[in-house]
Structure 1
Amino acid sequence: MTRHAERVTQPRPQERAPTSERTVSIFIGSAVSRDTEGKPRAGGGIWYGQENPRNMALQLLDNEPQTFQRAEIAATLIAVQQTARDQPLEIYNSKSLVGKELNQRLQAREDRGWVGMADRDLLQALAAKLRARTAQTKFCNVDARTQDSTHLALQGRREALTLAREGCLHGEQTLINLYIAPADQLRGAKLSTLTQAVAYAGIKERREPVARRTTANNIKLISAAIQQVFSLCPTPMEIWKSIRHKDFSRQVKNFLWKSVHGAHRIGSFWTHIPECGERATCSFCNETEDLEHVLIKCRRPGQTQIWSLAKNLWLRKHHTWPEPSLGSALGCGLAIFKNERGKISPGLTRLYRILISESIFIIWKIRNDTVINRAGEPVPENLIHNKWLQAINLRLTFDRILTNHAKYGKQNSIKSCLVLQTWSSTLLNEDSLPGDWIKQPRVLVGIEPKSSHPSSQPSGRRGRGR
């Protein structure tokens, strides 16, 4: 179905120049791929027609965010710049990202001075260019799932996407003209609609971000680990976004954010405080107790056992276990696992995120219980085992609850198929469970808890007389 959105630019009658030229139809496509080094690449495609010399495959510059939306806006801006001002124009795309921004949200964006808006440099230039046109401009959305779309529209959509994919890997990086005439440029926010929150956000944007050496080193560490384990080269923006992944609990998100910033009170933090230098050293290993030592290298009971439990549960579902490192643990939100056909496996990837994030957080909590609350006394192995098992079973229970109950909101709900894909092959007595086990009253992962009683004595009551 080809839907015509509200007209974006309706020039005033006295400004419209009479023209007899036919309407120009332009098809826009966008795509994101990764190059041979694993770096993300975004490209756009502009298709005018078969064997048209103006067909273009463009690639975003290295210093720009590599996203679908930015590639589509860039391609749209170039197409508008290459079209005469007095020539009617129809722009077709498959996602209608640009049409929604310009038709429905443009006024609100300009009223708040574009504060906090992504890709505002491109959108501002595009809005100014459209306002300067004297002919009509339409944005059209092509939906391939309906029978109302014309053959030309579907063909244009396919050709534009082909050009966009070609631009991701082989297109030339395009420098886009972002010049806005002073008469068309709007500066600042509209005072009558300005709020304190928008004003505060605008002030923060004007400040230069504070450079933190520890944060920069951790970002590089995560990027190198993800590239080594998963053959990806994430950008800093992707790393920060992965820390807020919806598969993580709120406590885990806070822990990861502090970890990347080096905000935990461990290791070198204590060396700068008088009479507290001994706290920088692990009392069990006699080594500097930085975050890598706590999560990966420490020989204190708990860390090795938890990684062993996570590995055993993972091997029930997958044949290989990526050995954890500090970078891969902090960047587990970027992990990607593929099936035999080479496509991303959502269930396998989600299980890995849950196992790694919950494991490192349990290790951290056990370390705090050992060092602070128990004055260095080791936590019993059976308690460590049961704590980890309780955390994983709690995540499984939450998945079942959020699937069965819509009252928790659409944002928190999880599709039942994703829950089944995540936990299949890891459950206790799974052969006796039905295919759709989500509504079963009690479902647990396939690791038994450990009893706290000595093995030489039977379980139950003991130590009482007759």
Structure 2
Amino acid sequence: MSTPPALASAKAVRTPPAAAWEDRGWIGIPDSTYFRAAAYHLKRRSAPTAAAVTGTRAAAALASSAAMRPDAGDDVDLTIPPAFNLQGAKLSAISQATAYQAIRERQTTPPRTRTDRRLAATRLDLHEFTKRLATDATIWRACRSSDIRAPVQQFIFCALHRSQKIGEHWSSIPGYQDRAFCPACGDTIESMEHILFQCDDLGSTTIWTLAKSLWPHGQENWPRDKLGIVLASGCLTTHTQPRAARPAGLPSTGALPQPSDDGALHLLRILISESAYLIWVLRCERVISEHQHTATTITTRWTNTINDRLHTDQLNASRLIRTSTAVIRAQQTWVGTLASESQLPGDWPKSHEVLVGIRAPRIPT
């Protein structure tokens, strides 16, 4: 039985949004200072206040005209008498999440100049490839992209904060200044850029060559080797090649699907994030355990890492409760990268008995 319109309207009048906001102490309400002042002026009226359609439109018109004024406009009195200025929140209206949000709103965060500089550099590198300027919030959210594994997310998060203990971190610590230099080069101050892209002894050249050789959508759609591309890999965008430009040996019709922008983007984020993280892991193994990695070992490690991501997509597509979206996405992501791809059945993502793997990479010389 539906609620009569008059009763629904009466319920809306009895429980206005401002009352709920006031019960939770105005926590998490944008521009709460202005809403609290407006709530005070409504409370001090002895007569009930109702908003008609005409009044709402008139208020919207006044707000629009005020926003277009070149000056700041009239000063708004936001003073609230103590009798109307309730403090705190009702226990019945607050949750643990709301309480934590209140703590975050009241805490003063010290300036993080190193993080801000890293974010600015990341934004510029990303803009060079995507032609879009991402906000700080967008870059932070990209750290938790579903295309990136949890350990890699943590690595990117720490790199954005520049919290890894490398390079300049050791320069100011007496007795440990020698740790500031690259363990492979010996005469270069270590930095994340140097580790991921410049130090050949750590395997970076081999790994990035392998990643680019597997990428089937043209080198013009592959970003330049820059740290910001790795840190903002969850924000990347790309485009696939047209049908005529597909890799040689692949049929243009039949069981194999055409690549899609969504599938290519999933593959690009996998290749960049996993390659960068593997370089960091190899560097840590060399520094901590003094392991020396040959080109063959690095190639095998990288191939196994990408094959693991391929098998993860296959498992997601072959679950008992699955959607066609997961199957299609797996097909469109890995098209052009698989070994003996023209011989695979069209439903390989959801077939457990079908063994798939990326094409055998060639060790860079």
TM-score by length of 2: 0.73
Aligned residues: 316
What do you get for the CA RMSD once the two structures are aligned? 3.9
Asked whether 1:336 is paired with 2:237, we answer yes
- Contact preservation (8 Å) 1:295, 1:303: yes
- Contact preservation (8 Å) 1:221, 1:327: yes
Partner of 2:305: 391
Q: 1:432 aligns with which of 318, 329, 343?
A: 343
Partner of 1:326: 227
Partners of 2:93 and 2:320 lie apart in 1 by: 35
Structure 1 unmatched runs, 5+: 13-101, 138-170, 451-466
Q: Cα distance 1:443–1:340, how it changes in 2: closer, same or farther (>3 A)?
A: closer
Asked whether 1:235 is paired with 2:235, we answer no
How far apart are 1:121 and its partner, in Å?
4.5
Partners of 2:318 and 2:241 lie apart in 1 by: 31
Partner of 1:350: 266
How far apart are 1:11 and its partner, in Å?
3.9
* 2:304 alignment partner AA: Q
Moved more, 241-250 or 303-312: 241-250
Partner of 2:191: 290
Partners of 2:240 and 2:42 lie apart in 1 by: 45
How far apart are 1:198 and its partner, in Å?
3.2
Partners of 1:123 and 1:447 lie apart in 2 by: 63
Q: Cα distance 1:336–1:108, how it changes in 2: closer, same or farther (>3 A)?
A: farther
Partners of 1:390 and 1:130 lie apart in 2 by: 66
Write out aligned runs for 1:66-81 (5 A).
none
- Contact preservation (8 Å) 2:327, 2:350: no
How far apart are 1:425 and its partner, in Å?
1.3
Q: 1:402 aligns with which of 298, 313, 316?
A: 316
Q: 2:158 aligns with which of 258, 263, 268?
A: 258
Deviations 1:41-77 (A, max 9, x none): xxxxxxxxxxxxxxxxxxxxxxxxxxxxxxxxxxxxx
Q: Cα distance 1:282–1:440, how it changes in 2: closer, same or farther (>3 A)?
A: same
- Contact preservation (8 Å) 1:428, 1:443: yes
Deviations 1:171-228 (A, max 9, x none): 9799999988959987532133434553343122112222112101100100110111
Write out aligned runs for 1:151-162 (5 A).
none
Deviations 1:225-276 (A, max 9, x none): 0111110111111111111111111101110110010100110111122211
Q: Cα distance 1:186–1:434, how it changes in 2: closer, same or farther (>3 A)?
A: farther
* 1:393 alignment partner AA: N
Partner of 1:447: 360
Asked whether 1:189 is paired with 2:105, we answer no
Q: Cα distance 1:9–1:336, how it changes in 2: closer, same or farther (>3 A)?
A: farther
Partner of 1:36: none
- Contact preservation (8 Å) 2:286, 2:292: yes
Would you tell me which structure has more helix in proportion to its own residues?
2
How far apart are 1:10 and its partner, in Å?
4.0
Asked whether 1:206 is paired with 2:117, we answer no
Partner of 1:96: none
- Contact preservation (8 Å) 1:292, 1:326: yes
Partners of 1:176 and 1:387 lie apart in 2 by: 64
Asked whether 1:378 is paired with 2:287, we answer no
Partners of 1:339 and 1:300 lie apart in 2 by: 33
Write out aligned runs for 1:27-106 (5 A).
none
Would you tell me which structure has more strand in proportion to its own residues?
1
Deviations 1:333-388 (A, max 9, x none): 111113579xx9211112111111101100000001112102xx531111111111
Secondary structure of 1:422's aligned partner:
helix
Secondary structure of 1:189's aligned partner:
coil
Partners of 2:169 and 2:235 lie apart in 1 by: 29
Moved more, 318-327 or 235-244: 318-327
